[in-house]
Amino acid sequence: MVKRVERGEVILIGRYGRVVAKLVPPDAPPKPKRVPGVWKGKVWIASDFDEPNADMARMMEEGPVEPVAR
């Protein structure tokens, strides 16, 4: 039942043909209002940010392989 509620379903629980409980997903926290241009002048992106980076490529190819933390 919990998985179904997690997917957004409402579950009614009854006894003797009468609804005695209602399982519902929690209310979603309100999304903050998005304001266009709020980051204007506060963020800088280098003109070459998406250029190939030899140091990064070397680290990805030659770096240590470690298990993913769970």
Mean pLDDT, the chain, rounded, equals 90
Whether residue 43 is contained in a domain is answered as no
Rounded to whole angstroms, how far apart are CA atoms 56 and 49? 12
pLDDT(26) > 80? yes
Domain for residue 39, yes or no? no
Task: Find out whether 48 and 56 touch, Cβ atoms under 8 Å.
Answer: no
For residue 9, name the pLDDT band (cuts at 50, 70, 90).
very high
Q: Would you say residue 70 lies in a domain?
A: no
Specify the higher pLDDT residue, 52 or 18. 18
Residue 4: inside a domain: yes
- Count of domains forming the chain: 1
Domain containing 14 equals 1-25
- Is 65 inside any structural domain? no
- Residue 47: pLDDT band (50, 70, 90) is very high
24-52 per-residue burial string, b: 16 or more CB within 10 A, e: under 16 = eeeeeeeeeeeeeeeeeeeeeeeeeeeee
Average pLDDT (19-37) is: 91
Domain assignment present for 17? yes
